[in-house]
Amino acid sequence: MPESDGESIKARKRFRSILIISLILIVGVVAIVVWRSVETSRGEGIARIVGDDKNPDKNPGLLSNEQKPLGSIILANYDEYRDNTIRWSAAYFSCLFLSAVFSASAGFVLKMKAFSNASGLKEDLAALLAMLAALLITLSTVGDFQRKWQANRIAASDTEALAYDLIKTPFGEDEKAKLISRLQEISTARNREIVGDKPGSNTQGWKGNENKSPGNSNRNSNMNRNATSDANSNANTNATSNANRP
């Protein structure tokens, strides 16, 4: 008994060491991925177009004084969308990555023969890892992380395209109004995509019914005319035959 107890204690210590090292590696990889995503330069083209008011000598920009206010709004929206993209993307892929790691670790723990003396501990840990994997997938699905990061990514790309339209010449009030309307459309489309609303689905169905209705009315009208014509023809025939009888 004392020897088996000693082996069980050693097995638990080795098991804990491996578990701690694995968790440190996993957290380190996730931290590096998130850090690289945050530190990667994005939107440098927009920054060069708009310019830097704090350091105009280094980056004066390409816009006139009339264009700069609108350019600052475009840059602010772009930064907001890109920051949201990074956050939701990190949340989504972290859930997927950690869920896969926990799920694989649960099976690995159950198959490890080195800790056969600690079977109860292995089963508990495997159940815990499987539960965490399921919770992460559920969290990502219910929170709709994928839709949110994609919606912000598309909005950032569309906003970046507006910055290049801003430097087109000539730039008058009509072009300014179009860009402002486009900014509103991008923001609305982003929010609709986040909540899962697909504009136009009901409208398309209504239009489909509307397009079918003229054909139906024409067919009904032709049928009515044909029925009336047949009735009049029968009536005239009957009247003529009655008139010819002695």
DSSP 9-57: HHHHHHHHHHHHHHHHHHHHHHHHHHHHHHHS---HHHHHHH--SSSTT
Q: Is residue 159 a contact partner of residue 74, using CB atoms and an 8 Å limit?
A: yes
Tokens of 138: 């559920």
Q: Give CA–CA dist 39/52, Å, rounded.
A: 19
Segments making up each domain of the chain, as ranges: 2-198
Tokens of 52: 């830097």
Q: What is the largest CA-CA distance in the chain?
A: 132
- Model-level pTM? 0.64
pLDDT in tens, the chain (246 residues): 455 566 667 766 776 777 778 778 877 877 777 677 666 656 677 888 888 777 777 777 878 888 888 999 999 999 999 999 989 998 999 899 889 988 988 888 888 776 666 677 778 888 998 999 999 999 999 999 999 999 999 999 999 999 888 887 677 888 888 888 999 999 999 999 988 876 554 433 333 343 444 444 444 455 455 555 554 555 454 444 444 444
